[in-house]
Amino acid sequence: MSYKIGVDGGGTKTECMLLDASGRMIAGHIGAGCNPSIAGPEQAASIVTAALASLRAQAATHAAENAGGSGELVGHTLLCMAGHREFWREYARQLTGFGRVLTTDDSLPVLELATGGRPGLVLHSGTGSFVAARTTDGAAHYAGGLGWRFGDPGSGYDLGRRALARGLLELQGWVTPSRLGAAVRAHAGLESTADAGTVTRAYYQHAEPNRHIAALAPAILRLAAERDAVAREIVLASTGELLDLAVGVATKLFSATLIPTVSAGLSGPILTHPVVHEALSARAPFTLTPITETPIEGVRRMLARS
């Protein structure tokens, strides 16, 4: 029996699956984020190696229990990875015992979910954000995903950054108070009387400030859903910039007559939130469809087509 392994390796987590010859998932594995730009090259490689070893061991157990096990145990491994492409290509070249190993960007699983291999695009938002597209000739394209230091509109970090900036100005007394001031205090674990300086220090001194700030996003979305005008303005301004990028990508890649008909997906809890979906749909030149499956399902579908 020959097995397949699929990996969705992002900055926040590394999710993997083991499929049998029929395409049925028989085991999974979730580890820490493996983007080498964040975790560092050695740690990123170590995380993925441990995940692959765990799945191969489970494949051996399953084969022994069900088929006696013979021939090549793992016939195909697909690595859909965040971070430097050449790093993962070199990593794949050194792998042994995992059959045919292919590497690709971590954007392709959600693009697969949005388009099913057809022309179209997807807007994705997590801690970061990006736009991915597939043209009529089958070529894949990528835009954004520059990382939290350089923007990533519509991402959890960008929402948190904007809300934090506004909340701090409220605490300084320079803008009209809203519920954001209390939200940024609470997220930092501070008393309701904490001043702007105390709040600022709490965020700057956090061990992982980018992820800590991104984790503000659910609270901001909740306020937006409760019709808080300031939170809603922040959410729509940030996600609107990501839509602008997607429209620019579509305009460059597709003809004007094709744009209204292309498949376009929204991926991630920020973009699929009802407030965001409604607002972006009113502006988009194409129909935006929320994606309910997780990226690892996109990896499974890619493996099934390979």
Q: Give me the percent of the chain exceeding a pLDDT of 90.
A: 83
Q: What is the band of 113 on the pLDDT scale with cuts at 50, 70, 90?
A: very high
User: What is the CATH topology of the domain spanning 123-292?
Assistant: Nucleotidyltransferase; domain 5 (3.30.420)
Which tokens is 89 given?
């290509």
Rounded Cα distance between 162 and 213, Å, is 10
Output the CATH code of domain 3-106.
Answer: 3.30.420.40
Which tokens is 208 given?
């992982």
pLDDT at 69 over 80: no
pTM: 0.88
pLDDT at 71 over 70: no
Phi, psi values for residue 130, rounded to 5° = -165, 170
pLDDT at 70 over 60: no
Any long-range contacts for 63-72 (C-beta under 8 Å, 24+ apart)?
Answer: 63/1, 63/3, 66/1, 67/1, 69/1, 71/2, 72/2, 72/99
263 close to 123: Cβ distance less than 8 angstroms: no
Which residues make up the CATH 3.30.420.40 domain(s) of the chain? 3-106, 123-292
pLDDT digits (tens, 9 = 90+) for 180-192: 999 999 999 999 8
Give 190: exposed, middle or buried? Use CB within 10 Å, 0-12, 13-18, 19+. middle
